[in-house]
Amino acid sequence: MDPKLLEDIGLTEGEAKIYLSLTVLGTVSTGPIALKSGVSLSKVYKILERLEKKGLVGHVIINKTRNFKAMDPRRIIELLELKEKELSEKKKKVKELIPQINLQRKLLPVKNEAIVYDGTKAIMNFYNGILTELKAGESYYVLGASYGEDFPGLREFFQNYHTRRAKKKIKMKMLANIETKDNLEKATYLNSKIKFLPKFLVTNMIVIFYKNKTFIYFLTTNPKGFLIENKDVQDSFKIYFETFWKMS
């Protein structure tokens, strides 16, 4: 069994190696454990103590020497369930904290600042934020939509994203680049109004705006985005959008 599987559920590398060694060795003293696991003898006792606290290892006294054995592997499931319970409790506390944080943010003086989003993952996170901020029936606008080139996983992301958006009944009005015509992911059309920009207006710049937010990003080799929270800026882009909508 790969020790990394146990590391993924929260055990350290040493804990995983020692536990798996004990499942093969049976009831033994620390010498064979160190030899089998490859963990130095000086560290074995401390790791065994931690494993005992977690309920994964037990010990018996044989000839006045402490011998250790691996406990029922079903205990691993119990550990996972405990972690899930702890995570659920933390999640609940964070949810209770969010309204307080948002209230404090509203009390801050308003500044016209541009927040930089660096990389594809950061830009995807902005899209996911739209689904959190907007409610059923609310809309946002997209100007210059494109998939760019050589961005693995981008199409799959948007198929999943628009499926979730439609499920939440969030509307979208999009002016996509002409090259995406007949090539958009199917879910994009759900709960949407879509037109296509003429070729002379096509760029690699994509603009998304709603409420007081305007997000501008470029699908270049190293994608970067800029979020501006300013109602006047959002209103200006909406005027451009409606003009292009009539032309498209």
92-120 pLDDT, tens digit each: 888 888 887 777 766 666 565 678 898 88
Question: Residue 4: which pLDDT band, with cuts at 50, 70 and 90?
Answer: confident
pLDDT for the residue 31: 92
CA distance 141 to 189: 14
Residue 67 φ then ψ, to 5°: -115, 145
pLDDT tens for 189-234 read: 999 999 998 888 877 889 999 999 999 998 877 888 999 988 889 9
**231 three-class SS:** helix
Candidates 3.40.50.2000, 3.30.470.10, 1.10.10.10, 3.40.50.1820; correct CATH number of 3-74? 1.10.10.10
Asked if the model's pLDDT at residue 237 lies above 80, the reply is: yes
- The yes-or-no answer to whether 3-74 and 113-247 have a common fold is no
| Segments making up each domain of the chain, as ranges | 3-74, 113-247
Tokens representing 89? 């409790």
Give the CATH architecture of domain 113-247.
2-Layer Sandwich (3.30)
Alpha helices in 26-153 (DSSP H): 30-37, 41-53, 74-106, 120-133
Tokens representing 64? 């006045």
Question: Residue 155: which pLDDT band, with cuts at 50, 70 and 90?
Answer: confident
